[in-house]
Structure 1
Amino acid sequence: MEFENFLENEVITMKTRTKLIGFLVSLSLFCALPAFARGPGSKAQGVRSNQTVQSLVPLSTTEQDTLLWMREEEKVARDVYLTLYKVWKKPVFNNIATAEQRHMDAILKKITLFGLTDPVLPNVGTFNNSELQVLYDDMIAQGKRSYVDSLVVGATIEDKDIMDLVAAIKATNNLSLKSTYENLLEGSKNHLRAFVGLLRKQGLDYAPQFIDKDLFDAILGV
């Protein structure tokens, strides 16, 4: 009789332990579900969220002025090429005008990001900055003289853009601006190669007016 009572108590104890273990396992699985649902990238996503909410470092007055200048300077290039395409019907002007629009868009994103006011006017050939207005007018007057002159104008614009972009990159520690300017710089180098290449097909060459000859030769692969 005592042995039977002992067995009965053992069975009850084992059942109790089994229920307790089952409860603990269920509880641990329940707690783990949210983390499992987030997936293996949940930790990285958390890092990205923290990065997203970090406040932007304000731009200095010089950085702001440079950014706004670049926006209009890219518009000068785009508008000159659009106008010269209408005059000479050469694909190079239409193609590079499209690229310049992408440059303008990239800078506009930064202007918006840093809460600045876009200086660009809607009409082709009109500019807020008087210096850039004069540059546009001069480039158009020269570019309409002949097809060769229009190629010189293209090379000149890219020459100046490269100089300004190199200076802008050196003048800022803002990584976001640096990245954008560096991308634009590579585009301007390609445009310079295109215009100089077409000039050379005409039996002519271009002498840099803004960047030094070493940089010019490096860009052209001399």
Structure 2
Amino acid sequence: MFKKFIQITILGTLALSLMAFSPAPVGQISTGILLPADTLQTTDLPDEVVDGLLLMREEEKLAHDVYVYLFEKWGMNVFENIAASEQAHTDAVKLLLDTYSIPDPAEGKDAGEFSDTKLQALYDQLIDQGSQSLGDALKVGAAIEEIDIVDLREALSQTSTPEIQRVYENLEKGSMNHLNSFTSTLFRQTGEEYQPKYLSQDAYQTIIGSGRVNGSNGQGNGQGDASGMGMGAGKGNGRGTGNNSGVDSETKMGTGIARGSRGGRR
């Protein structure tokens, strides 16, 4: 396996604050990303770790761009709020790319444009689906967050670099909260229970049951109280509650479609 040997100097402590926004009825949370200070540290990044960073940079951009479009289409705040969070997510990955002198695949790309052709096709597909109805748009949002969680877990399993692990862990927590927000909003708006497409049923239920993760207290939405870690994100009749903050890492085989289709580092 080819390895990229990079000599870096990180002076001081770099801190990013990610705001994992959700619609007003569900509440608002924040997660922190802290990159530790190191001095003249030699770090080797395997190709798969570089690939993971490249993927997550564009995958978080895809989420942002889709949500901006869906907010303009349907005018629902959940899309605008989570789009702001996704901008912070993609910026966090950009900081890692800059730190390790990795070229940015999103540089010079407008909204809805991607270097990865498979991500481009996925974006076009999701825009088409999300334009059909508000319910379809909310399902698109939930599907994007599922894909993010699957790919973040795979990327996390491939790196032992602490600052990269820390960023991925916080992005995953944000995606879990976003998934809760989209599915609870879908239930309130349509009465429909979301069915996972990329996570296993067990992994999905663990995320929904954990409520909001590592965030500030939100508020109940009148559809049921979620009193796990961080209040809010319950979706009626007491569903979506619990104190379990753990995440079942089980995922369906072959569900990381964006990662699986990437075809290696460009």
Which of 96, 105, 120 is the matching residue for 1:110?
Answer: 96
2:135 corresponds to which letter in structure 1? V
Instruction: Give the Cα–Cα distance (whole angstroms) in 2 for the partners of residues 173 and 205 of structure 1.
Output: 37
Any idea what SS the aligned residue of 1:59 has? strand
- The equivalent of 1:140 in structure 2 is 127
2:166 corresponds to which letter in structure 1? S
Q: Name the one with the larger helix percent.
A: 1
Which of 142, 149, 162 is the matching residue for 1:162?
Answer: 149
Instruction: Give the Cα–Cα distance (whole angstroms) in 2 for the partners of residues 59 and 166 of structure 1.
Output: 17
Instruction: Give the Cα–Cα distance (whole angstroms) in 2 for the partners of residues 142 and 125 of structure 1.
Output: 15
* Deviation >6 Å, runs of 4+: none
Percent of matched pairs sharing the same residue: 40
Any idea what SS the aligned residue of 1:58 has? strand
Kindly report which structure 2 residues correspond to 1:1-222, keeping only aligned pairs within 5 A, or say none: 52-120=38-106, 121-201=108-188, 202-221=190-209
Any idea what SS the aligned residue of 2:138 has? helix
User: What is the TM-score with the length of structure 2 in the denominator?
Assistant: 0.63
- C-alpha contact 1:58 1:114 (8 A) present in aligned 2: no
Instruction: Give the Cα–Cα distance (whole angstroms) in 2 for the partners of residues 56 and 179 of structure 1.
Output: 19
Shift of 1:141: 0.2
1:57 corresponds to which letter in structure 2? T
* Superimposed CA distance per residue, residues 123-172 of structure 1 (whole angstroms, 9 cap, x where no aligned partner): 10000000100010000000000000000000000011000011111111
2:149 corresponds to which letter in structure 1? I
Shift of 1:214: 1.4
Shift of 1:122: 3.1
Instruction: Give the Cα–Cα distance (whole angstroms) in 1 for the partners of residues 39 and 169 of structure 2.
Output: 26
- The equivalent of 1:24 in structure 2 is none
Relative contact order higher in (CA < 8 Å, ≥ 6 apart): 2
Structure 1: stretches of 5+ with no match in the other structure: 1-44, 46-50
Instruction: Give the Cα–Cα distance (whole angstroms) in 1 for the partners of residues 153 and 199 of structure 2.
Output: 9
Q: Superposition RMSD on alpha carbons, in Å?
A: 1.3
Q: Name the one with the larger strand percent.
A: 2
Instruction: Give the Cα–Cα distance (whole angstroms) in 1 for the partners of residues 155 and 109 of structure 2.
Output: 25
Shift of 1:208: 1.1
1:177 corresponds to which letter in structure 2? I
User: What is the TM-score with the length of structure 1 in the denominator?
Assistant: 0.75
- C-alpha contact 1:156 1:208 (8 A) present in aligned 2: yes
- C-alpha contact 1:160 1:210 (8 A) present in aligned 2: yes
Instruction: Give the Cα–Cα distance (whole angstroms) in 2 for the partners of residues 74 and 102 of structure 1.
Output: 9
